[in-house]
């Protein structure tokens, strides 16, 4: 239920927002290591490039399984509170209840 209203926030400290920022650095490090291995003739890049896809999948799984506890979104809480959107009451219904009391 929390995933329906999840909105990434740069200033949030929840686990999911922190792990989302790992994709770029992890890919750069992976490519750097693979090219370094290629340069030292330990492993050819054209054989090892699929590791980049594996690393992307691992980071995606980590992001999806990270906790959103304590998440602070940009727009705050979802409309209508934690239960979701609430149906608007009929106009004048509050006035008729006040008049009858």
Question: Under DSSP, is residue 76 helix (H, G, I), strand (E, B) or coil?
Answer: coil
Domain total in the chain: 1
CB 73 within 8 A of CB 6: yes
pLDDT given at position 24: 92
CA dist 29 and 33 (Å) reads 6
* Domain range for 27: 2-74
79 belongs to a structural domain: no
pLDDT tens digits, residue range 3-22? 555 566 667 778 888 888 88
Structure tokens at 17: 């927002």
82 belongs to a structural domain: no
pLDDT tens digits, residue range 48-87? 999 999 999 999 999 889 888 877 766 544 444 444 444 4
26 belongs to a structural domain: yes
Question: Under DSSP, is residue 48 helix (H, G, I), strand (E, B) or coil?
Answer: helix
94 belongs to a structural domain: no
53 belongs to a structural domain: yes
Q: What is the pTM for the complete model shown?
A: 0.60
90 belongs to a structural domain: no
């Amino acid at each position: 239920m929390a995933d329906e209203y999840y909105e990434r926030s740069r200033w949030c400290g929840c686990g999911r927002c922190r792990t989302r920022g790992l994709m770029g650095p992890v890919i750069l490090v992976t490519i750097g290591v693979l090219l370094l291995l290629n340069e030292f003739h330990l492993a050819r890049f054209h054989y090892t490039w699929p590791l980049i896809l594996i690393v992307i999948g691992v980071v995606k799984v980590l992001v999806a399984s990270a906790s959103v506890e304590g998440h602070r979104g940009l727009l705050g809480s979802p409309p209508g509170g934690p239960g979701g959107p609430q149906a608007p009451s009929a106009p004048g219904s509050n006035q008729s209840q006040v008049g009858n009391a």
